[in-house]
A = this chain, B = another copy of it.
Amino acid sequence: MIEQTVHMGLLFDFYGQLLTEKQRLFFSLYHQDDLSLGEIAEQYGITRQAVYDIIQRSQKTLSNFEEKLGLIKRYIRQREQLEKVQGKLKELGDELARTGAAGPWQEQLAEVQELLAEIIEEF
């Protein structure tokens, strides 16, 4: 179970481009910049209820896309698998270090680890 804030962030990252400009703006002010409904309402000269409705509607739209496409579910599964690979590479490195054998493999292993870390970072 991932945290609600993280989940909203993922929904926005994956499907945010399918919202209208206004939906995207309000969703992001509320969920990412942490403004309150009241603050957004004041800033844009509309009622708090109208802001609430727009954000609720956006969330529903994003959730519907995820329900149909499941790309976030897939993303989370793949990320976990890659982190498992990362853990196993670390174990492998520890084991090799224990053998005390130096050699070009040290640099090669470091390279693989770095590449994988980058992939996970940008995933």
Tell me the A residues contacting B by CB distance below 8 Å.
Answer: 14-15, 17-18, 65, 68-69, 71, 78, 81-82, 84-85, 88-89, 91-92, 95-96, 99, 101, 103-105, 108-109, 111-112, 115-116, 118-119, 123
Evaluate contact between A88 and B71: CB separation under 8 angstroms: no
Evaluate contact between B69 and A88: CB separation under 8 angstroms: no
Evaluate contact between A95 and B104: CB separation under 8 angstroms: yes
- Known: A17-B68, A69-B15. Contact between A112 and B99, CB under 8 A? no
How distant is the Cα of A116 from the Cα of B87 in the complex, in angstroms? 12
| Leading 4 A-B pairs by shortest Cβ distance | A17-B68, A92-B108, A88-B112, A95-B105
